[in-house]
Structure formats: C-alpha cells, structure tokens
C-alpha cells in the first residue's frame, strides 16, 4: 500500500515500481512563495518523493468564519506535482484559528483542576466539543472537495498527532460524553457501581448525571474511574479520527487515510492497537530521548509499531534529522545517526521515511528544531546526509512492500496493563511499565536475539518464547489464552505485579497472581516492594531492585531457578518455572535490569530452543532484523556501537554496505548494511 502510493492512478510520475517513500512535513505557509520553487528543486536533489502539506494551515486556509483562501495551496500542490512530488494532504484541523476560539471559547480543553487551556500554542480543542467537530468537519469537507482530483494527492493525513497535547480534557463536554461512554460499557448504574467498586468511600451513584471525569479530588480518585477515563479519552479521539475519515471516504473513496501515531517514549494516552483498524495504513512519529538505551528504544518503538500495524508495512511520518527543541538540552545527531535511525525504522517494517520538517523555521516555537534544509542552507552536513539517505533509500527499493520475518521471541506490550499498573495508591509508585519491557528488549539485543514487540491483537501463539513483563491486568479470557498457549507447548515468562487484577481493576482473590496462580504453580501472600537504593542479591541471578514477593511454591512441577539471598524473604523463591507438558511458565519476582536479564535469559531461551542467528563475536554489537518476500530475505545489520564491526561469514547481495579487501562485511560506526539473500 505505502510502496505503491507513488504510483496511484493519479501518481506524480506514472512509475508503477514499488519504492520507499522519502519526505517530510512541508510547511510552505511559513515562507514567501519565492522559496517554494527552490524547495521543489532541492527536494528533487535530495530524492524526496512525497511530502505532508498543510498540517497547521487552518488559519491560512480559512482566515475568517466565512472566508476561504485556497489559492496558495493550489499553487503549492501544482508546483509539487510538476516536480514529481506526491502529497499526503493534511486535513489542517490540528490547530484551530484565533477567530474560532474567540467566537467559541467553549471548544477549549479544561484541566483536572478546572483551568482552561488557552490558545497560543496548538491543539487547544476538546475532542468531545460538538462545536469544534462541526467546524473541523466543514474544513475537511472543503479540502476534500477541492483537491479530490488533484493529481498530486495520494493520501490524507488526519489532523496531527491526535492527543499529543489534548488527550485529557475534563470539561463539561467531556463529562457528558464520558457518561454516554460509560452507559455503553456498563449498561446499568448497578453495573457501573460494581465495576467502580463504589461501595468504597461512599461513592455510590444513584443517577448518571452525578458522574464526572476524575477532576481534582481530595485524595486518590476512584481507580476504575481513572482507568475508564483513560479508556474513554483514547476512544474520544478515535471518534474524532473516524469522523474526519468518514468525510474523506465519502468524497474520495480511493484515497487512503492515515494519521500519525506517537509510539515513542513519553507517550501513553492513546491506545494505538485499538486505533489501527480505523485507518488505511499506520503512520508513526518517533523522537529519541537521549540516554543509554535511546537507540534500543527506537528499535523497540519501531518494532511495536509494526506489531500495531499487524506486520504490514507502515509509514514513518516524522523523526528528526538532528536536534529537537523540546528537551532540556537538545543535542544534535552525530555522524551516521541520521541514516542509522531512519534505516532502523525501515528494518522494522517502515516503507516510508519522513522528517519533521522540510525547511527549518526562521520563526516560531520550533525554530531550533532541525530539518532537512537547515538554517545554514543546502551547503551543510545535514543536507548532505539527507541527500545521501535519499540515495540509500533508492538502492533499497526492492525492500518496499516486503513483510517482516517474525522472530521466535515475542514481548507482549499491553495498554490496559500499562495504564492500570502505573496508577496511584499502589505498592510502589516507582514502577515504569515501558522501561521494564524495554529492559527485556535491550537484554535480547545484547544477546543478539531477535524479538517482536506485540500486543494481544497479534498472533501470540506463534512465538516459542512469550515474555509478558508486568502483565498486571489479566481478564479471564486472556488468562485462558495464556494457559492454552502453555498447554500447546509455548514458553511463557512473566514478572512481578502480573495477573493481579481483572478488567475492572478488581483483585483476583485467593493469593497473587490470581489470574496465573495455577499456571505458574506459585502463590504470593504479600508484595515486598523495595525502597529507592535498596537491592536484594539472588543466588542464581540478580541482584533485584524495585520489587520482591513472598512466594510459596504450590505445585510439584514448579522449580526454583533463583532464591533471595538476603532481606525479608531470604531463602524464599525469587524466580520460578513450572513445566506443563511441553510448555512452561516462568515468574520473575523482581526487577533485574538489563544486565540481570542478560544473565537470566540464556536459561529461558534454551528451554524454548531459541538461539541467536548472529555469529558469536558480533552478538550485542549488531542488531539484526529481517524482511522478506516470496523470493528474497533482506537482512538488516545495524552497528549498535560507536566503533567499526566486521561480520565474517555473512553472505548475500549487498544493497547498501561494503566489504573489506578480504570480502568481509564491515560496518562503520552506527552504519547499517542491507543484504539480499534467497528466501529458501
């Protein structure tokens, strides 16, 4: 789908060969029109073939309530088309113009403590505002009608990063919509009272109108109210996405619709696995947060995006050529990182590489954010790297449209568990769900073992080893599914604080982890979270931090792989594994961190018969990812280190990369090589 966008019937150059898409957010409204021609010329020089246009141009397109100005966009669309560059046209609804918020301040979001989120930045709109919806859809309709037959148009880009700034709105509109949503979920007030456990603290509701979003409260707000509000808030934005999409599909049924997700560190509010079915192809934005695991996190996010996309190719809609502007300190990318970061996304299934943004702004809040054409102009290292990447992506055209080859290890990442396990009034406030999952991923990278990051919507049953870190919320059907997985010979690994609650955040009683007690063959009477700085040595792994459990083994098939050496539970089991038929279920009761997991994982991998596919000496230095089609496998080999790495014995046709004089594949620091092998 993505690789053939450029050859859509209206396509810009009529070339039907699948290709990787290369481009950027293009914001011509920030520049005088003399610059536009130069933009198109430089885009061609860089190998750009598709840009996203109009994302923040509502105020320009509709200067007042009753006036429209499309002339400038007509000209931009024509110029791009003449230059052979396709357009992913934004619906421009992301940032409502001042005339609208002045006339209708009731579209502005409200925080939990009742403050209005005023205009002045962007995305200052309530997802549930009927007034906003009416104005937004009018704009979408105008745009769709005007550009339906424009030859440059190949895709629609709904809004922008829905929920980036407006995921939680506590306004009266939100309260009304929340009640409707709750009625649909719980049917009756009794159902809601039960689900929310309102017998506690005299919270029983006798009328739907009494129910509010979790606004500023005197103490911990009801946990299930909080959880349902998270679910509702994600659904409210999904509803907006559907509303815009429906207008687009009505007017241009043949033009695919997407919206850019934010699967990356620091983003949690949008349940993307649930949104993915609403669009024609998945797009993602990714920005690395500097730190020791930053590129592992990039790989993890790209991998998870592929899982969300159901394994189909996806569109990297935004990332940065160099520094961003929104961190406390914004460090530029080092030599090689621009290409390495881009190709890591391609390795994990991206068929499009796009940046925010084309030309670095001279004014506004993002003027220090890097771009493809920096302030220095095209005579710059950044633009040379951009052009180099354009050439590499052309060389990788055969990869376009191929699928990822599934790994044998899956890491289960679950939004409900994520939302629930990090709520307040828990045994510890230090738990970081995404970090725990990332640590497992990093440990597998360090061992040179490929893993897929997946959600419960993916085919979990295909994995020989399924790691479900902190799978806190396990509704009964999921418990049954996991038990069947093990019955059928699968090897399940789970951790502390898993299987503790059901879908309403009610404890599974009788000893933890209630949903998995039988499967794991253990029973936990009490959690033993650790204080900051505390750690507990284990006799077969570790040390552990953050968490311990008071575990009793309850089944003869449960073996103890490691015990606590000191502390309140000294001598008791810390890591267990129960064998069931050909399968097994292991439990890790503490946080081992990357190095602890690197120590423990070989045992777990061996049980499942999984080994690294990389030559011994480069395990940990190189990340491998594989894409394939009927005839070929495409091996992506990513140098994770800052030094050169040699890979003896790797064969195949080199699409990008180089060999030394002995014919050995060598990766420069941070370099990515791609080899084509026959798919036998």
Query: Least distance from C-beta 359 to ligand GLA, angstroms?
Result: 14
326 is in an annotated binding site: yes
The residue assigned the tokens 């790994």 is 407
Query: Least distance from C-beta 49 to ligand GLA, angstroms?
Result: 21
Nearer to ligand GLA, 161 or 297 (CB): 161
Report residue 144 as tokens.
Answer: 């769709």
Q: Which residues pair with 179 in a beta bridge?
A: none
Selected from 95, 160, 259, 303, the binder of ligand GLA by CB under 6 A is 160
161 binds ligand GLA (CB under 6 A): yes
Residue count of the chain, please give it: 680
124 binds ligand GLA (CB under 6 A): no
User: Which amino acids are annotated catalytic?
Assistant: 161, 318
Nearest CA among 680, 625, 660, 632 for reference residue 311: 625
Q: In b/e form, how buried is each residue of 312-346, taking b as 16+ CB within 10 angstroms?
A: bbbbbbbbbbbebeeeeeeeebeebbbbbbbbbbb
Alpha-carbon distance of 23 to 85, in angstroms, equals 9
Alpha-carbon distance of 591 to 338, in angstroms, equals 33
670 binds ligand GLA (CB under 6 A): no
Alpha-carbon distance of 54 to 32, in angstroms, equals 15
Nearer to ligand GLA, 49 or 357 (CB): 357
Query: Least distance from C-beta 457 to ligand GLA, angstroms?
Result: 25
Nearer to ligand GLA, 366 or 464 (CB): 366
Going through 433-485 in order, the beta strands assigned E by DSSP cover 451-454, 465-468
Query: Least distance from C-beta 91 to ligand GLA, angstroms?
Result: 14
Nearer to ligand GLA, 202 or 662 (CB): 202
88 binds ligand GLA (CB under 6 A): no
Nearer to ligand GLA, 366 or 613 (CB): 366
Nearer to ligand GLA, 71 or 218 (CB): 218
Alpha-carbon distance of 66 to 51, in angstroms, equals 29
Query: Least distance from C-beta 499 to ligand GLA, angstroms?
Result: 25
Alpha-carbon distance of 310 to 306, in angstroms, equals 6
356 binds ligand GLA (CB under 6 A): yes
Query: Least distance from C-beta 121 to ligand GLA, angstroms?
Result: 10
658 is in an annotated binding site: no
Alpha-carbon distance of 603 to 611, in angstroms, equals 11
Nearer to ligand GLA, 173 or 285 (CB): 285
Contacts of 359 (CB under 8 A, 6+ apart): 26, 27, 30, 31, 35, 39, 371, 372, 373
Nearer to ligand GLA, 369 or 563 (CB): 369
Tell me if residue 459 falls in helix, strand or coil.
coil
Q: What residues between 299 and 328 interact with ligand GLA by CB under 6 A?
A: 318, 324
Alpha-carbon distance of 446 to 453, in angstroms, equals 16
CA distances 607 to 569, 584, 604, Å, are 27, 8, 5
Cis peptide before 357 (omega within 30 of 0): yes
Alpha-carbon distance of 122 to 287, in angstroms, equals 19
Query: Least distance from C-beta 289 to ligand GLA, angstroms?
Result: 11
Nearest CA among 633, 670, 5 for reference residue 317: 5
The CA-to-CA distance between both ends of the chain, in Å, stands at 25
Tell me if residue 595 falls in helix, strand or coil.
helix
671 binds ligand GLA (CB under 6 A): no
- What's the longest Cα–Cα distance across the chain? 80
One character per residue 226-265, x = contact with ligand GLA (rule: CB under 6 A): ----------------------------------------
358 binds ligand GLA (CB under 6 A): no
Q: What residues between 361 and 390 interact with ligand GLA by CB under 6 A?
A: 366, 369
Residue 551 dihedral angles phi and psi, to the nearest 5°: -100, 135
Q: What residues between 408 and 427 interact with ligand GLA by CB under 6 A?
A: none
Query: Least distance from C-beta 356 to ligand GLA, angstroms?
Result: 4
Query: Least distance from C-beta 219 to ligand GLA, angstroms?
Result: 8
285 binds ligand GLA (CB under 6 A): yes
Nearer to ligand GLA, 231 or 286 (CB): 286
287 binds ligand GLA (CB under 6 A): yes
Q: What residues between 526 and 565 interact with ligand GLA by CB under 6 A?
A: none
Alpha-carbon distance of 338 to 320, in angstroms, equals 8
Residue 296 dihedral angles phi and psi, to the nearest 5°: -65, -40
Alpha-carbon distance of 245 to 258, in angstroms, equals 8
Contacts of 601 (CB under 8 A, 6+ apart): 443, 444, 447, 449
160 is in an annotated binding site: yes
Positions at the binding site for substrate:
122, 160, 326
Contact residues: ligand GLA, CB under 6 A? 160-161, 285, 287, 318, 324, 356, 366, 369
């Amino acid at each position: 789908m993505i690789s053939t966008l450029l050859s859509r019937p209206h396509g810009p150059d009529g070339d039907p060969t699948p290709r990787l898409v290369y481009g950027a957010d293009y914001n011509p409204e920030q520049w005088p029109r003399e610059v536009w021609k130069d933009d198109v010329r430089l885009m061609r020089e860089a190998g750009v073939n598709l840009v996203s246009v109009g994302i923040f141009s509502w105020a320009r397109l509709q200067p007042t309530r009753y006036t429209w100005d499309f002339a400038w966009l007509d000209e931009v669309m024509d110029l791009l088309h003449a230059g052979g560059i396709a357009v992913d046209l934004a619906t421009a609804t992301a940032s409502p113009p001042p005339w609208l918020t002045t006339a209708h301040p009731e579209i502005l979001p409200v925080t939990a403590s009742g403050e209005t989120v005023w205009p002045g930045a962007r995305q200052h709109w309530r997802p549930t505002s009927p007034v906003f919806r009416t104005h937004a859809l009018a704009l979408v309709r105008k745009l769709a009608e005007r550009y339906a037959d424009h030859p440059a148009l190949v895709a629609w880009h709904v809004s922008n990063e829905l929920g980036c700034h407006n995921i939680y709105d506590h306004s009266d509109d939100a309260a009304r919509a929340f009640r409707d949503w709750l009625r649909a979920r719980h049917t009756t007030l009794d159902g809601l009272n039960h689900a929310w456990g309102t017998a506690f603290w005299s919270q029983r509701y006798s009328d739907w109108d009494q129910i509010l979003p979790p606004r500023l409260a005197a103490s911990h707000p009801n946990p299930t109210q909080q959880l349902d509000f998270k679910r509702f808030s994600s659904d409210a934005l999904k509803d907006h996405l559907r509303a815009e999409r429906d207008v687009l599909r009505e007017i241009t049924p043949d033009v695919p619709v997407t919206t850019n997700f934010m699967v990356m560190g620091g983003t949690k509010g949008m349940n993307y696995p649930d949104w993915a079915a609403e669009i024609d192809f998945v797009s993602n934005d990714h920005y690395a947060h500097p730190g020791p695991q930053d590129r592992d996190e990039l790989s993890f996010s790209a991998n998870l995006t592929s899982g969300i996309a159901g394994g189909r190719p996806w569109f990297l809609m935004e990332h940065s050529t160099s520094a961003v502007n929104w961190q406390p300190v914004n460090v530029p990318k080092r030599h090689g990182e621009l290409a390495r970061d881009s190709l890591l996304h391609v390795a994990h299934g991206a068929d499009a590489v796009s940046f925010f943004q084309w030309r670095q702004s001279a004014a506004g809040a993002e003027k220090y954010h890097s771009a493809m054409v920096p302030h220095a102009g095209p005579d710059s290292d950044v633009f040379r790297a951009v052009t180099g990447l354009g050439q590499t992506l052309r060389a990788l055209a055969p990869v376009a449209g191929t699928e990822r080859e599934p790994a044998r290890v899956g890491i289960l990442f679950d939004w409900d568990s994520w939302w629930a396990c990090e709520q307040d009034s828990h045994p510890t406030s230090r738990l970081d769900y995404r970090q725990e999952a990332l640590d497992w991923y990093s440990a597998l990278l360090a061992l040179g073992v490929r893993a897929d990051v997946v959600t419960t919507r993916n085919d979990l049953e295909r994995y020989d080893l399924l790691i479900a870190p902190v799978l806190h919320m396990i509704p009964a059907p999921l418990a049954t599914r996991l038990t069947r997985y093990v019955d059928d010979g699968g090897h399940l690994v789970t951790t502390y604080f898993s299987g503790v609650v059901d879908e309403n955040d009610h404890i599974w009683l009788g000893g933890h982890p209630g949903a998995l007690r039988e499967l794991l063959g253990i029973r936990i009477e009490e959690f033993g979270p650790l204080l900051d700085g505390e750690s507990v040595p284990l006799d077969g792994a570790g040390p552990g931090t953050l968490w311990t459990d008071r575990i009793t083994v309850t089944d003869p098939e449960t073996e103890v792989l490691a015990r606590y050496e000191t502390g309140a539970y000294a001598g008791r089991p810390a890591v267990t594994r129960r064998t069931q038929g050909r399968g097994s279920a292991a439990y890790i009761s503490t946080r081992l961190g990357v190095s602890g997991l690197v120590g423990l994982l070989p045992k777990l991998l061996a049980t499942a018969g999984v080994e690294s596919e990389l030559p011994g000496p480069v395990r940990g230095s190189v990340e491998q990812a594989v894409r394939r089609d009927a005839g070929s496998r495409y091996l992506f080999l990513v140098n994770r280190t800052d030094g050169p790495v040699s890979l003896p014995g790797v064969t195949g046709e080199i699409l990008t990369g180089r060999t030394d004089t002995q014919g050995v594949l060598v990766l420069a620091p941070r370099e990515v090589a791609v080899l084509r092998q026959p798919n036998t």
